[in-house]
Amino acid sequence: MSAVLVLNAGSSSLKFQVVDPETGEAHAKGIVERVGSKGSTISVTVDGEESETSASAPDHGAATELMRTTLADRGVDLASSGLVAVGHRVVHGGRSLTEPTVVDDKVLAEIERVAELAPLHNPANIDGIRSATKAFPDLPQVAVFDTAFFSDLPAEASTYAIDRELADKHAIRRYGFHGTSHEFVSAEAARFLGREGDADLKQIVLHLGNGASASAVRGGRPVDTSMGLTPLEGLVMGTRGGDIDPGVLLHLHRVAGLSVSDLDTLLNKKSGILGVSGIGDFRDLASAVHDGDDDARLTLDIYLHRLRKYIGAYAAVLGGVDVVTFTAGVGENSVELREEALKGLEFLGIRIDGRRNKGKNDGPRVISTDSSAVTVLVVPTNEELAIARHTVATIA
Ligand code: ADP
């Protein structure tokens, strides 16, 4: 069996999976949390059985070592697991890194250079690559970029309407994120409907997790996406508010004295669902709405309003829509969210089947009625499998 170790290093976590790139089977997976602070934990699932232990992980190097020893304790020796490579999720590839790439010194230096575009994400990804290179010196390390799928967005979608020279000088453009997921899910949707290779297939993909983004995809290629230079733009998310008048930031700076760093914290950590309602998790928001909490209701209404605006906008950009697909934590699991999000969009030819929407299935499924002009799908995303496949294709 050949397998890929997929690593997703966040600022305070390390997610890992040993994936068979052919079958998608994840023989072992887990996460080290609170990397770099006290009270780190590692949870590991091997053949479906989960265990969690506290441990020390002062940095990503230690977290990688912890992963290795914990997996070994659970009977998974990475040295003899048939690993052919390590695949890394890297958030920002900038203008130059537009395809999955084997990491060498030059590539690593470039990932570091573009880190100024993603200061919250790329440094952790770099730590992950360095740690894995040390731990697995004989394996190729492949970087798979979240921005790659969107690297050839049409210029009218990727260019911000600001001073052209300034924008060029500082690489300001819409890069888009969650690209690995949008690519995987739109391809799965086309395959599921038997329409791979159909150059006219018009899809809207809604990736709704903690972070959230939408994309408009025609014939397998993206023509627009909601996230921009950074993952702050677009939909309402867990702690990010998405679209906002840039004037709000200037005003808060001038009138309330907020510094760049205060604004950074506001936009990344104190906005979105958490900012408006004080509730950090979508499930808790949904139960607060159930209990009649007015703030929670308003928050959900803002979330839904934004989502509908993007669906309408992307239907216009595509000149119609054949498929709308929900994916990621909220999109895959929340029956109510899916139903409410599409309410009022019957004029686009969207009709949800209440019974199908409540159904469950591990793979892709249809939740629209047979007579709905637009097919609405739920397609589970699998970024790890997508990274494993890209990794194998890159080293081949
Ligand atoms: P990320 O990868 O961005 O961290 P996920 O795609 O795992 O996020 O999604 C996490 C979100 O999904 C959380 O806000 C969580 O509340 C939500 N979620 C998970 N399960 C459900 C559910 N059954 N109903 C509603 N929301 C859910």
333 in a structural domain: yes
- Cα–chain center distance at 294: 30
Kindly report, residue by residue over 261-318, the tens digit of the pLDDT.
999 999 999 999 999 999 989 999 999 999 999 999 999 999 999 999 999 999 999 9
* 357 and 222 together in one domain: yes
Are 74 and 46 contacting, i.e. CB atoms less than 8 angstroms apart?
yes
Predicted pLDDT at 79: 87
Q: What is the CATH number of the domain that holds 281?
A: 3.30.420.40
Does any ligand 1 atom lie closer than 6 A to the CB of residue 282? Answer: yes
Structural domain including 103 reads: 3-145
Predicted pLDDT of residue 10: 87
Average pLDDT over residues 38-49: 93
Number of domains in the chain: 2
Does residue 294 lie in a domain region? Answer: yes
Nearest ligand 1 atom, CA 210: 3
Nearest atom within ligand 1 for CA of residue 238: 14
Question: In one letter, which amino acid is 151?
Answer: S
Q: Are residues 288 and 372 in the same domain?
A: yes
| 180 within a domain of the structure (yes/no) | no
99 is annotated as contributing to ligand binding: no
Is 371 a domain residue? yes
| 179 occurs within a structural domain | no
Q: Which range is least confidently modeled, 202-206, 359-363, 389-393?
A: 359-363
Residue that finishes a domain, picked among 116, 145, 174: 145
Asked if residue 211 and residue 141 are part of one domain, the reply reads no
CA angle 163, 166, 170 (to 5 degrees): 140
Say if ligand 1 is within 6 A of residue 328 CB.
yes
Backbone angles phi, psi at 263, to 5 degrees: -65, -35
pLDDT tens for 215-272 read 999 999 999 999 999 999 999 999 999 999 999 999 999 999 999 999 999 999 999 9
Check whether residue 222 and residue 351 sit in a common domain.
yes
Residue 273 lies in a domain: yes
Residue 11 has a pLDDT of 83
Q: Do 260 and 349 fall into the same domain?
A: yes
Question: What is the Cα–Cα distance from 155 to 223, expressed in whole angstroms?
Answer: 9
| Axis crossing angle, helix 122-135 with helix 105-113, rounded to the nearest 10 | 160
Does residue 238 line the site of ligand 1, with CB under 6 A? yes
Question: Which residues 6+ apart lie within 8 Å of 86 measured at CB?
Answer: 4, 5, 6, 7, 132, 136, 139, 140, 141, 142, 391
CA of 273 to the centre of ligand 1 (A): 13
| Residue 119 scores a pLDDT above 90 | no
From CA 153, how far away is CA 165, in angstroms rounded?
20
What's the Cα-to-Cα distance from 30 to each of 67, 79, 388, rounded to whole Å?
Answer: 8, 17, 16
pLDDT value at residue 81: 87
What is the pLDDT at residue 163?
Answer: 98
Clarify whether residues 243 and 377 are in a common domain. Answer: yes
| 200 and 139 assigned to the same domain | no
146 catalytic residue (yes or no)? yes
Within this chain, do residues 219 and 89 fall inside the same structural domain, yes or no?
A: no
Rounded distance from Cα 170 to ligand 1 centre (Å): 34
226 lies in the same domain as 366: yes
Residue at 164 is within a domain:
no
Residue that is last in its domain, among 145, 160, 188: 145
Whether residues 258 and 350 share a domain: the answer is yes
Average pLDDT for the chain: 96
Q: Give the pLDDT score at 59.
A: 92
Q: Whose CA is nearest to atom 24 of ligand 1?
A: 334
Whether 200 and 309 map to the same domain: the answer is: yes
The per-residue b/e assignment along 213-251, b for 16 or more CB within 10 angstroms, e otherwise, is bbbbbbebebbbbbbbbbbbbbbbbbbbbbeeeeeeeee
Annotated active-site residue in 47, 73, 138, 146: 146
Q: How far is the CA of 333 from the centre of ligand 1 (A)?
A: 8
Residue 388 pLDDT class (50, 70, 90 cuts): very high
- Where among 145, 174, 206 does a domain terminate? 145
Query: What pLDDT is stored for residue 69 in this prediction?
Result: 94
**What confidence tens digit (pLDDT) does each residue in 132-172 have?**
999 999 999 999 999 999 999 999 999 999 999 999 999 99
Q: Which residues of 356-385 are buried (b: 16+ CB within 10 A; e: fewer)?
A: bbeeeeeebbbbbeeebebbbbbbbbbbbb
CA 115 to centroid of ligand 1, rounded, Å: 27
Domain identity same for 211 and 278: yes
Residue 41 lies in a domain: yes
pTM, 2 dp: 0.95
The residue whose CA is least distant from atom 26 of ligand 1 is 330
Pocket test for ligand 1, best of 333, 336, 382, 387 (most atoms within 8 A of CB): 333
